Amino acid sequence: MADAAERNLGTSDEIGESEWQLERHDGATHRLRHEPRLTCSDFVAVRAAAIADLGVALLPDHACALALDAGQLVHLLPDWRAQRGNVHLVFTTRRGWPPAVRALIDHLAGQFARER
């Protein structure tokens, strides 16, 4: 069997070695160092490459959920996920926020809180 790391796709604009930091629900972690055969910061392009069977990708749920549901992609390691990180929402001031901005912030905060 060929080294699976040779078939990985990256989601960065950086060329060269990359690392996937994975975790399980029980807290176990694993780091996979690899040199992607294709790398691009555009999740849509990486998803298309994975669908075209060019390699294995580590993508966020929002970038691959529909393709998974349609059977175009397969979740290869269902017990593992990318390690969780921080999300930063940057804005200039609270004064003058339109109601839609406040609603977006509240929605995002609620979504990320549920996924923890």
Determine the 3-state secondary structure of 54 from DSSP.
coil
The rounded distance, in Å, linking the Cα atoms of 58 and 53 is 14
| Phi, psi (deg, nearest 5) at residue 9 | -110, 140
Q: Which amino acid is at 5?
A: A
Helix (H) / strand (E) containing 90:
none
pLDDT of residue 99: 86
Flag residues of the chain having pLDDT under 50: 1-2
pTM, two decimal places: 0.72
Model pLDDT, residue 1: 31
Assign domain 4-82 to a CATH class.
Answer: alpha beta
Task: Give dist(CA 81, CA 96) in Å, integer.
Answer: 39
What are the structure tokens assigned to 79, written together? Answer: 């017990």
| pLDDT reported for residue 90 | 77
